[in-house]
Amino acid sequence: MSAATVPATRTRAATGLLAYLLAGIYFGVVLVKSEAASWYRLQEMFHFESFHMFGLMGSAVVTGLITTQLLRRFGQTRNGESIRITPKDPGWRRYVLGGACFGVGWGLTGICPGPIFVLLGAGVWPALVVLAFALLGTYLYGVLQTRLPH
Amino acid sequence: MPRTRRRYFGNNKTMSDVVHFLQTPWPWWVGGPLIGLTVPLMLWLGNKSFGISSNLRHLCAVLLPERVKPGFFKYDWRAEKWNLMFAAGLVLGGLLAGVIFANPTPVHLSAAGLNTMDELGVTVQPSLVPPEVRNLSKPGVWLILALSGLLIGFGTRYGGGCTSGHAITGLSTLQLPSLYATVAFFATGILSANFLLPLLLGLVK
């Protein structure tokens, strides 16, 4: 790589990362404004007492499905590459068992990983306790990984 | 609420209308499609598969000293900086929408929802999380937060994703594994919220 191209690549890498920061701000604002980060809304959902969260998730998946298909067929990435979607590993055990573990934790606080970060920004400091233990849980998985059925 | 805000921003009615608009929460049919658009947005930005829980793994990889790292955390986390930037954005988004333009009124729960909050022993207030489950002077609150966090961290890595990676991205791209995971975490989430949480909240009271 010649000396002239290095700064250009660096600038692109920096603006590239900035775009993800903006995307995160966008998603964080949407999670709060749509009340998906609300403890109350999540408990209401788990008790089947409102359509709000079901409508939210349902319309999110339908929108994601249609717009992703359109992008795949007619679009490309901002750098002009074709769209690639990495398939998840086949199987079912890890998805059912891991998903079931996550669900118990999710039901207790109505918090999933996205809202952990959003709540920290919103000044809900107890979310730090959830984050610390979530990191511990992630570490435990890393330790036990080879001994768990996948 | 607009009355107190108007005073805060002087007598400028247009300004207070704008502020009121920014503070108002969105209905599901506005928020849902905006959540769904994140999937093609991340693909467009750089063929990234949208999923937030991977950041818990990246944070472990950043924080753990090299000597004690299990193999699961030995990889080039610098290549995943984009996702850590996304998480940093979430924090800023929470600040923007949850503090600066926070909704000054409580969530409009259904009548049945209000009744459930009453039974759970939490008050409905204008905040994202009720004060009763934020009260860190109660050991029971620590128990709920710690157990929840532990299972979220362990379960999302074991299951390979959370609500964003599986329910939103995975289902949007028609991946069968994501359907298994989504059914599993919804099923146990419902059981946990209906049976385990009331039990643990009973300890808090």
pLDDT digits (tens, 9 = 90+) for A36-67: 999 999 999 999 999 999 999 999 999 999 99
Residue B136 has pLDDT above 80, yes or no: yes
Averaged pLDDT, A83-106: 96
Residues in A closer than 8 angstroms to B154, CB to CB, are 98, 101-102, 137-138, 140-141
Could you please report the per-residue DSSP string of chain B? Answer: -HHHHHHHTTT-HHHHHHHHHHHSPPPHHHHHHHHHTHHHHHHHHHS----STHHHHHHHHHHS-GGG--GGG-S-GGGGHHHHHHHHHHHHHHHIIIIIT--SS-----HHHHHHHHHHT----SSSS-GGGT-TTSHHHHHHHHHHHHHHHHHHHHHT--IIIIIIIIHHTT-HHHHHHHHHHHHHHHHIIIIIHHHHHHHH-
Give the per-residue pLDDT at A1: 44
Tens digits of residue pLDDT in B42-100: 999 999 999 999 999 999 999 999 999 999 999 999 999 999 999 999 999 999 999 99
Nearest CA in chain B to A144: B70
Are A113 and B53 within 8 A, CB to CB? yes
Q: What is the mean pLDDT of chain A?
A: 93
Query: What is the average per-residue pLDDT within A123-145?
Result: 97
ipTM over 0.95: no
Query: Per-residue confidence at B2, pLDDT binned at 50, 70, 90?
Result: low
Average per-residue pLDDT for chain B: 93
What's the pLDDT score for residue B204? 78
Q: State the pLDDT at residue B11.
A: 61
Contact flag A126-B129 (C-beta cutoff 8 Å): yes
